[in-house]
Amino acid sequence: MSVSNTGPFSWGYCLRVLALALLPITSVFAQSGTPVAARTSATPTQQNPSPQQANKDAIVVVLGYHRFEDRPRDMLAIHPQAFREQMQTLKNRGIPVISLKDFLSWRKGEKAIPARSVLITIDDGYLSGYATAWPILKEFGYPFVMYLYTNYVNVGGKSMTWDQLREMRDAGVEFGNHSASHDNMVHPKKLKGGNYQEWLKNELFGSKQILESQLNVPINTFAFPYGIHNAQIREDALKNGYVAMFTVNPVPIRFSSPAGALGRFIISSTHPATFKNALRALEGAAGGIAVHEARTSSPLITTEPKNDENIDNPLPEIKADLAPFGNVQSESVRLAISGFGPVSANYDPATKQLSYKITRPLREKKITVFLSAKNETGPVGTTWTFHYDPKLKTTPR
């Protein structure tokens, strides 16, 4: 059967965002500058952490919010009571909420975190994050991260001020970068004939410097506006000061998940099931079947190309054996590929084999594949990456 790229599943929102084709760009270089020290008390640095310190089997689900409104006017808003109920659900189920600091320490192999935990993020810098969400989060004692785009700070209306952000900083709230203008980073609508490389440099690094200057904290994580990015953007950012970059791909994060494409479940008023799906994915991961990140060493799922495999074929066929996911609902299967967006793959429920033939030559060197579906227990999915090198010498086909 042919796999549709539309549907009610929570990937719908994310795949619509991914639908813009991601084209490669010329390398962007960061502005030089002196790192800014965080306004926090110094803590001893752990020397030579042992493998036991970082529990590499841990799973993190990232929840992404935007606005909190009594009358949600669009999909990116959520009613405050609904938000409170979600926080209460986390508490009732005993699901720990971790800080960005602990998340990054775990990713570096320096610290253990709970086996299953949640990281909460709030995007853009709307006033409701300060006036509505923050008081609720303080009641529960939950840490969270604000992802700000600098053009929207201190501009009046429903935006937050720098003084409000500093108040949050002094109370322990953490911050990340969400660009300068919140435009599509691959195909910007606001550029209007300007120099793309200079524009992108400002979006990634000019905004970073503004946040560090205004808040006097290091900014080393980034949330892509609309989730749109490509391999070159990721690589340049990670080489020049960023250690983690978040998408809108709704998959849990493992220790081995790529730093440049970490998943987030975007919570909205029009997709109330996304929160439930996030928790199902988190809890299902404990059983080793609901969500699994493909790796060449794992027998749980077989993919072609394999994870981290190098290929020289510009028109490969993408394949995955979904048998480990159990009784997958055929109509729920979704496939998206970096550089192509959502694609219509073929899925055979009898053999549980999924396939998609790339229709135009690969351009990017690093290709990430996102697969999502549902089985009888809830959402399932996987992510894997392979590498394209046209100069690679392989056996003739």
Amino acid at residue number 1: M
Mean pLDDT of 271-295: 62
372 Cβ contact list (under 8 Å, min separation 6): 9, 11, 250, 251, 332, 333, 334, 379, 380, 381
Which range (19-23, 94-98, 199-203) has the least confidence?
19-23
Element (H, E) at 233: helix 231-239
Asked if residue 282 has pLDDT above 90, the reply is no
Query: Can you tell me the mean pLDDT for 317-336?
Result: 89
As a whole number of angstroms, the distance between CA 62 and CA 93 comes to: 16
Q: Of 34-38, 48-52, 138-142, 286-290, where does the model show the most confidence?
A: 138-142
The mean pLDDT value for 150-159 works out to 95
Output the average pLDDT for the chain. 82
On the question of pLDDT at 126 being above 80, the answer is yes
**Residue 334: what pLDDT?**
86
Say what the pLDDT of residue 251 is. Answer: 87
- Asked if the model's pLDDT at residue 397 lies above 70, the reply is no
Average pLDDT over residues 160-167: 98
Least reliable range by pLDDT among 121-135, 265-279, 286-300, 348-362: 286-300
Measured distance between the N- and C-terminal CA atoms of the chain, rounded to whole angstroms: 28
Is the pLDDT at 186 greater than 50, yes or no?
Answer: yes
Quickly state the pLDDT bin for 100 (edges 50, 70, 90): very high
What is the average per-residue pLDDT within 317-325? 90
What is the structure's pLDDT at 66? 96
State the pLDDT at residue 271.
77
Does the global pTM surpass 0.85? no
Q: What is the amino acid identity at position 216?
A: N
The class (CATH top level) of 303-388 is mainly beta
Q: How far apart are CA 65 and CA 122, in angstroms?
A: 5
∠ at Cα 171 (252, 112), nearest 5°? 35
Q: Is 110 exposed, middle or buried (0-12, 13-18, 19+ CB in 10 A)?
A: middle
Tell me which range, 46-60, 146-160, 327-341, is most confidently predicted by mean pLDDT.
146-160
Which three-class secondary structure state does DSSP give residue 218?
coil
Tell me which architecture the domain covering 11-38+49-285 has in CATH: Alpha-Beta Barrel (3.20)
| 243: its two tokens | 């250690």
| 259 vs 249, more confident | 259
Task: Tell me the per-residue pLDDT of 70-87, one tens digit each, with 9 for 90 and over.
Answer: 998 888 899 999 999 999
Q: Is the pLDDT of residue 378 over 60?
A: yes
Find, among 246, 285, 266, 256, the residue nearest to 380 by Cα.
285
Lowest-confidence region among 16-30, 78-92, 227-241, 383-397: 16-30
Q: Which of 150, 157, 200 is nearest to 175 (CA)?
A: 150
* Least confident segment among 101-110, 260-269, 299-308: 299-308
Domain residues of the chain, as ranges? 11-38+49-285, 303-388
Average pLDDT of the segment spanning 46-67: 77
Q: Which two tokens stand for residue 157?
A: 């209306």
Quick one: what percent of the chain has pLDDT higher than 70?
Answer: 81
Whole-number Cα distances in Å, 328 to 3, 70, 375: 12, 37, 4
Within 8 A by CB and 6+ apart from 376, the residues are 326, 327
